Amino acid sequence: MTRDDSRIRQLGQALEAAERILFITGAGLSADSGLPTYRGLGGLYNGTTAEGLPIEAALSGPMLQRDPALCWKYLAEIGRACHGATPNAGHRAIAELQARKPGCWVLTQNIDGFHRAAGSPAERLIEIHGQLAPLYCQACGREAADAERRLAGPLPPRCDACAGVLRPPVVLFEEMLPVEAVERLRRQQAIGFDLVLAVGTSASFGYILEPLLRCRTAGGFTVEINPATTELAAWVDLHVPGRALDVLPQAIGHISEQ
């Protein structure tokens, strides 16, 4: 048995033993569906945009108000990538585990909707950065369901009723996190988790790192699944090098063998 096989078996045992589980997922999970990450190897936005701006400025709430066409140039790029991709085996493995364990939750930074599409129950899914659909009008609040068609049209997309600029229910840079999602996370953290796994994320935001630290402080088990060794590796009990679409199905396979 190789060292990596041993780690996957250890992960399977941890998943089998735990009742309260939290998956924290980031762009690395969806990268295996063909979506670009924002940073690091294969990142779409390393450096600045064509306009000479940091991507954080282009994809910000203030930019959407000041220059909606510029903001939508990059929103549409992300949207088209998401519409052209599908969930992978990593998303499906997480959904399968949620079906087996009613105390299994997902906290995702991703806005692609792949967890829902893979079968993760909405009542145990916290989309902390929102999602790309449906679009709605900032002026009158009317919903526009045909997001994919509008991404291929003139930008920014506008409301059919009042010509106001449409936007997705996503958290842009410099905007507040959704209150309902933050409250759901707070309630679940108050209950506590036996096992917290960071999947394809460096957990650079405090609200992403906090569940890991709380779990470890309370005596729980913490895991990172990532092909790279990130700074997070020093904070977890187990680092499993590899892609989630390979690691998670294997780990769940060990559960069924026990």
Cis peptide bond N-terminal to 249, omega within 30: no
- In whole angstroms, how far apart are CA 140 and each of 163, 167, 175? 9, 12, 20
198 close to 225: Cβ distance less than 8 angstroms: yes
- Residue whose C-alpha is closest to residue 5's, from 254, 203, 256, 234: 254
Beta bridge partners of 158: 165
Q: Which SS3 state, helix, strand or coil, does residue 77 take?
A: helix
Q: Which SS3 state, helix, strand or coil, does residue 94 take?
A: helix
* C-alpha to C-alpha distance for 167 and 78, rounded to whole angstroms: 13
* C-alpha to C-alpha distance for 163 and 172, rounded to whole angstroms: 22
DSSP 191-217: H--SEEEEES----SHHHHHHHHHHHH
Whether residue 129 lies in the annotated active site: yes
CA dihedral of 155, 40, 204, 166, whole degrees rounded to 10: 10
**Per annotation, catalytic residue among 83, 115, 129, 239:** 129
The residues annotated as belonging to the active site are: 129
